[in-house]
Amino acid sequence: MIVSNLFWSRLVLKNASQVKRKINERLFSHSSFLKAANILDGKQLSRKMQNSVAEEVERLKRMDEKYHPSLAIVQVGKREDSNVYVRMKERAAKKIGIAYKHYAFPDSISQSTLLREVRKLNNDQSVHGILVQLPLPRHLNEKTVTESILAEKDVDGFGAVNIGMLAKNTSTPIHVPCTPMGVMELLHQYSIPIAGKNAVILGRSDIVGNPVSYLLRQENATVTVCHSHTENLPEQIAKADILVAALGKPEFVRGEWLKPGAVVIDVGINAIHHNGKRTLVGDVHYPSVSQVAGYITPVPGGVGPMTVAMLMCNTVKAAELLRNKSILRKVSINEIALKDPVPSDIEITKSQELKKITTVAKELGIHETEIETYGHYKAKVDMKLYERLKHRNDGHYIVVSGITPTPFGEGKSTVVAGLVQAIGHLGKLGIACVRQPSQGPTFGVKGGAAGGGYAQFVPMDDFNLHMTGDIHAVTAANNLLVAALETRMFHESTQSDAALIRRLLPLKDGRRVIPKGLLQRWNKICNNLGHDPSELENVSQELLEKFVRLNIDPETITSNRVLDVNDRFLREIELGLACTEKGRSRKTSFDISVASECMSILALSNDLKDMRHRLTNMVIANDKKGDPVTAGDLGVAGAMAVLLKDAIKPNLMQTLEGTPVLVHAGPFANISIGASSTIADKVGLKLAGTESFENADKAGYVVTEAGFASDMGMEKFFNIKCRSSGLKPSAVVLVATVKALKLHGGGPELKPGAPLPDEYLLENLDLVRRGCANMVQHIRNSQKFNVPVVIAINSFRTDTNKEYEIIRQEALDAGAVDAIPSYQFSKGGQGAIGLAEAVMKACSTPNEGGFKFLYDTKAPIEEKITTIAKEMYGAKGVEFSPLAERRMKDFKRQGYERLPICMAKTQYSLSHDPKLLNVPKDFVVPIRDMRLNAGAGFIYPLTAKIQTIPGLPTAPAYLNINLTDDGEILGLS
């Protein structure tokens, strides 16, 4: 039991002896009270409570296989009394089913080291309770060490947070100190009245005395706390209906001091030696006190066992708190003040008070140790969050795509933001998973890509600009790869075999050393030549030469340097012109960063290991024999992974109304998948998912976006991303606008700078009806994957209800679940509730047969391309150029035939020709060339020349982007 080391002054003892005779005469004149007190049997009650706790633990374990309460005890030194207490707690923990971890440290441990060890336990989500066994050696500050334990893990209840909340009448502590709680439990279990009684506490420590006084006051006792400076102590004791002795003085309280029938709780435990024997006694003189008291706790066997029982209760409570905190997913909605007309996007965002990102994380059930904050409003999500939640059933998975894009812009990002906000209004968890926009278009044409109006991703300046540096990391990794390639070509062309061998296979202590980055290449070449890779000395010259010479064919290089800026003058450049490069110049070009295969790898990787594997497999050129040369052959993949180690973590942000957003990756939609990352989707689906013991209707919704329309982004999302991730979509939302449908229906051509023709501003039912053919084709595209479809009609002021009704009827006739006008731009989440209800209905509709792919990757390359062209575009057929035919043969020979296809074509038509609007007929898709993204895991055929680094227009968006004197960004939209 805990020993209170109070010093009781001689004055107290003197006063005690002076009044002893009077009290003795008064009390013992009542002979009716001279009978043995009732025993408050803490040992028996503790056993009963521990059995009850054990049953509860077993019940929770059966209900939740991930529930494993855990207690960590930190012990410094090897004091015998501490060893006894630790063993006692260990036995109780094991009996109850609590995982027990004992961390023993030497007496010599420094305070900083001990604090570091406690912090580790704080951060360990598998540890629920932490107890530091006291006392600590003199050089360690007990207060500092115990205060370092997180309040929710402070199962001893000694920390300032728990003690402070206990002291306040209006607060409830997370954990009540164990011994005081044990005292109260004894009183309750034996039905001893407390309210209105005089309670006297001997001792005012924060371990027993003060906490017991708070608990007794809360139950309306009149409490007197006595201490070493209390005068007339026996007289104070004589007033007690309930006496709690916790002063650390052997047999101090005498029976003659006591009010007959008083309840005596003896917390003290002291070792005394009598007749050469060591005996444990309490703070009261049991022989005399037990003859006067009505109830008394024995020592040992009273409060001590109850302390251990309460520690077990607190540990189980801590585990349940963490469990409940982890499964609590309730996102509060930030109110927005709607204005009409709708102000500018930047004006709206600046007027809205955002949640701190730590609050967003907490509402999602994300622990503090699972995010890395970047300022107040954005954070990286640690990969260990997914590991903690991967046992959950996934939430609903919704992909937002659209009809064929037009210059009007259909507003997919705005719909995504509005939809998750609306889901929040309906009391469900909605998480948006979106791409990080490239800075090129932000400063070029768009001025931003964070949604619009009252449906935005915020802070919009962070969202549109550097975020947490992921695109810069991709840029660095890509450019390191190309620099490594160019450098290797230079050194191979200027050095002998012997020089290359000496530098790439250096000797260390007389033995050859294989650089870590080249181990995979070494093993591959050794296996090809039948050589034992572990044998580094007796190596043939042929093997050494094969190892050090890549013999890259410059004409086959496919990787370019990248940067995140639109710059048309980098579309064709010549490099290597400095005299130091000895005439080894080469014509090449730059791409925009999001067109890098590294970005596609970031988007498609399932975890860190998978990303490292994909980087290794990147094919950057062929050698002169036509065999692929990879980043692994260059030995640079490990360094690239290092550059991307933080970029692989999704970014947590929020919508205008405070619903969570995971922003991650941003692959170029024309030549890649045009979707956010697999990792973000997986994390989102687990956050929105359900535990095994929860009802399925508690599942939330993850809403992600696929670039462009169903023939581009959605098809790639399904056939490439879902195939790679193993995730299955629940529903498709296709975004359409009245204006876009009118353009597809034959509306006047749009001319830059010219006023918008009246056909787009006034009701025109015929144009809408004819344009619906494009929408119907996209509905049918979605249905080929056996996924239910909802049409989101992104509303504008000039639209009419009759136009909406035509769209809805055409959509229903084509098999859509519904077609709903959505007003998120002007009304926020409230304006998209109808859409959210339709989407939730689609997700809950039984899907006979389930999700299916459009093609089998085992099919020949030309068959997969033809299937996409005919099924998604409506083409009559496909025509392959001689170059494309040659590429297909190369890919087959190199072993890449079974990769999925990522078509590179215009987004402005279902066909390859941007001028063919609505639903083109009788066209043949030309395949000019093909490229390989072996690391990302797909082949992309080119139907036309695709600009992979955009240019800037005459009046770029950066003309209106500026910074005020106080650092406020202007001009983003």
Alpha carbon 453 to its chain's center = 28
Tell whether omega for the bond before 846 is within 30 degrees of 0, i.e. cis.
no
Instruction: State the Cα torsion 624-630-631-637 to the nearest 10°.
Output: -150
| Cα gap 443→565, rounded to integer Å | 8
Q: Half-sphere exposure (CA, 13 Å, Cβ side) for 855?
A: 25
Q: What are 927's strand-pairing partners? A: 880
Q: What are 962's strand-pairing partners? A: 970
Q: Half-sphere exposure (CA, 13 Å, Cβ side) for 895?
A: 5
Q: Which of 452, 457, 461 is nearest to 344 (CA)?
A: 452
Q: What are 280's strand-pairing partners? A: 271
Among 41, 50, 75, 89, which one carries the catalytic annotation?
Answer: 89
| Cα gap 701→839, rounded to integer Å | 10
Quickly list DSSP for 532-598: -TT--SS--HHHHHHHH---B-GGG----EEESS--GGGSSEEE--SGGGTT--EEE-EEEGGGSHH
Instruction: State the Cα torsion 886-888-890-895 to the nearest 10°.
Output: -170
| Cα gap 774→139, rounded to integer Å | 78
Cβ atoms 599, 435 nearer than 8 A: no
Among 75, 133, 456, 777, which one carries the catalytic annotation?
Answer: 133
Cβ atoms 950, 912 nearer than 8 A: no
| Cα gap 690→698, rounded to integer Å | 7
- Residue with tokens 């007796």, as numbered in its chain: 538
HEC secondary structure over 398-465: EEEEECCCCCCCCCHHHHHHHHHHHHHHCCCCEEEEECCCCHHHHHHCCCCCCEECCEEEECHHHHHC
* DSSP H helical ranges for 784-905: 801-813, 824-827, 833-844, 861-868, 882-894
110 Cβ neighbours under 8 A, 6+ residues apart: none
Instruction: State the Cα torsion 878-882-883-889 to the nearest 10°.
Output: 90
Type of residue numbered 305: P
HEC secondary structure over 300-316: CCCHHHHHHHHHHHHHH
Tell whether omega for the bond before 300 is within 30 degrees of 0, i.e. cis.
yes
Other CB atoms within a 10 A radius of the CB of residue 611 amount to 24
Cβ atoms 194, 220 nearer than 8 A: yes
DSSP 8-state symbol, 132: E
Phi, psi of 794 (to 5 degrees): -70, 115
| Cα gap 664→611, rounded to integer Å | 14
For the record, the structure tokens of 395 come out as 């939430």
Q: Which of 329, 322, 325 is nearest to 688 (CA)?
A: 329
| Cα gap 460→884, rounded to integer Å | 42
Instruction: State the Cα torsion 252-255-259-261 to the nearest 10°.
Output: 120
Helix (H, G, I), strand (E, B) or coil at 623: strand
CA angle centred on 790, ends 716 and 870, rounded to 5°: 40
- % helix, strand, coil for the chain, step of 5: 45, 15, 40
Cβ atoms 874, 921 nearer than 8 A: yes
Residue 89 appears among annotated catalytic residues? yes
Q: Which of 700, 692, 642 is nearest to 433 (CA)?
A: 700
DSSP 8-state symbol, 593: G
| Cα gap 151→826, rounded to integer Å | 44
For the record, the structure tokens of 821 come out as 């006008």
Q: What are 273's strand-pairing partners? A: 278
**Residues known to be catalytic:** 89, 133, 156
